[in-house]
Chains A and B, each alone.
Chain A
Amino acid sequence: MAVGLVFLATLPFHANPYLLFVGNLAMLYIVLTVGLNLLIGYTGMLAFQNAALFGVGAYGCAVLRVTLGLPYWLSLPAGGLIAMIVGVLVALPALRLTGLYLALATVAFAQFTLWVFLHWYSVTGGPAGIQMHPVDFGVLASTAEYGLYYLTMAIMLAVVALTWNLVRSRIGRAFVAIRESEVAAEALAIDLTRYKTIAYAISALYAGVAGGLFAAMLGIVVPESYDLFQVIAQFAMVVVGGIGSVWGAVIGAVGLIWVQEALRAFKEFQEIAFGGMILLTVLFLRGGAMSLIKRHIKGWDEPLRRIPRKR
């Protein structure tokens, strides 16, 4: 892991701009996938609204920055908060749904959001979207690309560390209890509404912040970034990496961004590849890449609690 971190930290010094972009994208998707995995993997809710909330965060950030003239350091977290509020509003009706109905309702929400992005001209600019000028990091970084790269890295590390601690707390165990037996969880006083709302809110916040980073990275926010392919891409990352594993989410995000970039020239194959990888994982490797690691690296486990160091 240390090697990986050093590699990430020094990437801007030895990589070309394209590789830097890909590295940045991968880290941003780690934030998205770790958040979605809290919902799908840990709490066991088959919910697909995160792609749309990713867009809400991006549009929120862009509108606040471009239309209202707020600085980026304010519009980025504000976009995240807007996404979180929308996420909780989605959660209110979704709390009553499970399984297939939840999946259908949240995919419908994603489609509805896309429609709003396309048609609410006065705010979203319609199909042309919103142009954003580069973020000025001042003395902190020589170019916007470098600054954004390190900002994404800091946020990614914070998100992974935070989530890693969250899933090993009682809140994380309550998520898993809801996934494994909702009846037992409810009968034993685990407040389903409360913990499900927490899961929705956190994953929405992550998606929203990632959206703000994405907006700055591309310099433009357009509706098609947040379409059904976005839903599938994020879902594929969670499944291929390993459902219910923080590190699986990291591996899934990095691995699938690599696949996506390798197929950059053939956009239609990206969708086929992602769909195929979901299918193969579900058929042959239920626990995703993480289950291979658990099988072959002795002693690797992701316990749901902090294990005190043996003295």
Chain B
Amino acid sequence: MLDVRNLNVWYGVTEVVRDVSFSVPTGSIVALMGGNGAGKTTILNTLSGLLKPRGGELALDGESIKDRHPHDIVVRGLVQVPQGRHVWPGMTVRDNLDLGAVTRKDKDGIRADIEEAFALFPILAERRDQRASSLSGGEQQMLAICRALMAKPRMLLMDEPSAGLSPRIVQEMVAAIRRLHERGLTILLVEQNVGVAGALADTAYVLANGEIAFSTDGAELATNPDVLRSYLGR
């Protein structure tokens, strides 16, 4: 579904992503892993069109999205759940969801999808008229996911959905992501949590200093000696 070939991204004079290639087959969950500063978020923001790559090719369903506007990329079905969640704090839960559907005009469909989001995370239904700033971290993560779903994505880019959450909420999040995957969503997951990535991903790519160090089967992630050594420092 998504093909990344020889991607190069620079911030000014610094190369932050170097010759990265990977692909995400339709219906799979692929994890991008690596320590802070490895270039994971940069790759996601480049895929979303927020950053312009210096070189390489990005293709969604065989069509280049390299020079596309962020708006176009969302319309094509590739939607990001940003790091740190970035919900709009002053807006209510419902307004956050409504604005996630900014590319759509079908009012009834939007209303139905908001109800569907509430079915996915019932706690959000109780909080629908509360400001997003009053939600807990886990609830904000749920809201950020639902807000992305409002754009009717075919593929989600999730940036560290487990960051800053308690272990119990992380388990809930893993279950929720699995449900989304069962509904047919393809997912590119950026994670630092080996447990989460291992539980979900079909394939994992481990980044170091902007390059792909190696890739591994998701199921073997937790036992792969390379992961333990290079990534966790054991």
Contacts and interface: CB of A to CB of B under 8 A. Distances in A.
Contact of A184 (B82, B94, B151): B82
Interface stretch (B23-31, B52-60, B99-107, B183-191): B99-107
Contacts of B70: 186-187, 189
Contacts, number: 72
A78 interface: no
Given A187-B70, A187-B82, A177 B50 contact: no
Interface string B199-231: 000000000000000000000000000000000
A184 B74 CA distance: 12
Contact of B90 (A176, A189, A191): A176
A170 B100 CA distance: 11
Nearest to A304: B95
Contact of A188 (B89, B91, B94, B148): B148
Interface of B: 45, 48, 50, 69-71, 73-75, 79-80, 82, 86-92, 94-95, 98-100, 102-103, 147-148, 151
Nearest to B69: A191
A32 interface: no
Interface string A176-203: 1100110110111111000000000000
Looking at A177, A190, A191, the one whose CB has the most chain B CB atoms below 10 A away is A177
Contacts of B98: 170, 173, 305
A233 to B, nearest CB: 27
Contacts of B87: 181, 184
B74 A189 contact: yes
Interface of A: 170, 173-174, 176-177, 180-181, 183-184, 186-191, 303-305
Given A180-B89, A187-B70, A188-B74, A174 B50 contact: no
A180 B91 contact: yes
Nearest to B75: A189
B94 to A, nearest CB: 8
A179 B80 CA distance: 19
Given A189-B70, A189-B151, A191-B71, A170 B99 contact: yes
Given A170-B99, A174-B99, 9 more contacts: A173-B95, A173-B99, A176-B91, A186-B50, A187-B74, A188-B80, A188-B147, A191-B71, A305-B94
A190 B82 contact: no
B96 to A, nearest CB: 8
A184 B90 CA distance: 14
Contact of A189 (B45, B88, B92, B103): B103
Contacts of A176: 88, 90-91
Contacts of A188: 74, 79-80, 99-100, 102, 147-148, 151
Contacts of B102: 170, 174, 188-190
Contacts of B75: 189
Contacts of A189: 70-71, 73-75, 79, 102-103, 151
